[in-house]
């Protein structure tokens, strides 16, 4: 699935992948937190839009898969002696959600587009991390390659649901606006390297 070509407007800054090797443990812990947040978002969508049967079914499946991924990441962490410690979060998701429409069905569509963007960016970064770690950490590289396919289904589900709520022209406008913002946020210089942060800013 051509994740980047479909919705992302800018690729990840190459410096982020260069820095990832030095912060591998922190990224794995943050990854676990990201899986928790993804499951929580799916459950929040179910609670917010219970009358949309298709959305509820797909979000229920997505939540189950995200929780499975959380267990898998925790298994990797256990094998490496890591624990799920609190970490500071980037402003990425917060700023994306701050730009949501206020009225329905635009707000629901925006939530779904944000979900698609987050999943698409995850896929792009998992693919890059798999390549970066192929020689130094083959176990982690294999897992990231697996996640590219799994999370790609989530991306497609989010985007397909959004397409059912808005006419094509309006959908394209909303995607463009949110995708541009996503690219700015994900590549902004960061104080701490995270799965959805930009590269570390120069000291």
Q: How far apart are CA 39 and CA 68, in angstroms?
A: 10
Q: Is the pLDDT of residue 8 over 50?
A: yes
Q: Which residues is 190 bridged to in the sheet?
A: 200
pLDDT in tens, 59-109: 999 999 999 999 999 999 999 999 999 998 888 988 998 999 999 999 999
DSSP assigned state of 191? S
Query: Any bridge partners for residue 200, and if so which?
Result: 190
Domains (range + CATH), the chain: 15-186 (1.20.1260.10)
pLDDT bin (cut points 50, 70, 90) of residue 126 is: very high
Q: Is the pLDDT of residue 201 over 90?
A: no
Q: Which two tokens stand for residue 138?
A: 């083959």
- Give this prediction's pTM: 0.94
Q: Decide: residue 136, CB within 10 A, 0-12 exposed, 13-18 middle, 19+ buried.
A: exposed
CA nearest neighbour of 140 among 10, 31, 35, 1: 31
For the segment 181-195, the average pLDDT, to the nearest whole number, is 96
Mean pLDDT of 18-22: 95
């Amino acid at each position: 699935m051509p994740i980047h070509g479909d919705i992302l407007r800018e690729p990840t800054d190459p410096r982020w992948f260069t820095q990832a090797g030095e912060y591998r443990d922190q990224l794995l812990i943050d990854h676990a937190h990201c899986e928790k947040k993804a499951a929580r978002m799916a459950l929040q969508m179910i609670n917010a839009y219970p009358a949309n049967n298709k959305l509820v079914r797909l979000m229920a499946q997505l939540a189950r898969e995200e929780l499975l991924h959380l267990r898998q990441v925790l298994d990797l962490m256990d094998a490496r002696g890591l624990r799920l410690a609190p970490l500071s979060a980037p402003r990425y998701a917060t700023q994306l959600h701050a730009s949501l429409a206020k009225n329905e069905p635009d707000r629901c569509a925006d939530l779904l587009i944000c979900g698609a963007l987050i999943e698409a960016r995850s896929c792009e970064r998992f693919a890059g991390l798999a390549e970066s770690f192929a020689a130094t950490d083959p176990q982690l590289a294999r897992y990231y390659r697996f996640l590219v396919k799994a999370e790609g289904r989530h991306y497609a589900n989010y985007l397909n649901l959004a397409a059912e709520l808005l006419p094509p022209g309006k959908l394209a406008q909303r995607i463009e606006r949110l995708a541009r913002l996503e690219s700015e946020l994900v590549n902004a210089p960061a104080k701490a390297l995270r799965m959805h942060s930009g590269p570390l800013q120069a000291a």
